C-alpha cells in the first residue's frame, strides 16, 4: 500500500504518531474558459511547461489545440476542471 494515496495508508502512517483517522474531502475547481485561457492556466499552474524548450512548447500547444477543438461548447468554452483530494486529520486528544 502506498502511504498517502489512501485513507488507510495515511492512518497506518499517522495513527501510531497519535493522529485521528483521516477525513477526505474532494473539491472540484472549474476553470473552463476559452481555449487560450485554459492553455495559459494549465501552463502557469498545473504543469511545469517552463521545463520545455520553445519547439517542444509549440508542438504541445498545437496538439492541445487539435485535441480540444471538438470539445468546445457552442459559446466557445473549453470545459476544464481539476479535482483536489484533501486529507485532514489532527492529533488525538
The predicted model gives 59-81 an average pLDDT of: 96
Q: pLDDT tens, 11-47?
A: 888 899 999 998 989 999 999 999 999 999 998 888 8
Instruction: Answer whether 14's CB lies under 8 Å from 73's CB.
Output: no
In the structure, what pLDDT confidence band is assigned to residue 55 with cuts at 50, 70 and 90? very high
List CB contacts of 34: < 8 A, sequence separation 6 or more. Answer: 76, 77, 78
* Reported pTM: 0.69
Amino acid at each position: 500500500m502506498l502511504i498517502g494515496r489512501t485513507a488507510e495508508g495515511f492512518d497506518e502512517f499517522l495513527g501510531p504518531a497519535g493522529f485521528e483517522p483521516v477525513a477526505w474531502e474532494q473539491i472540484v475547481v472549474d476553470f473552463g474558459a476559452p481555449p487560450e485561457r485554459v492553455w495559459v492556466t494549465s501552463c502557469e499552474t498545473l504543469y511545469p511547461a517552463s521545463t520545455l524548450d520553445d519547439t517542444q512548447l509549440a508542438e504541445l500547444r498545437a496538439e492541445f489545440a487539435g485535441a480540444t477543438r471538438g470539445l468546445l461548447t457552442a459559446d466557445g468554452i473549453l470545459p476544464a476542471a481539476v479535482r483536489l483530494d484533501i486529507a485532514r486529520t489532527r492529533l488525538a486528544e
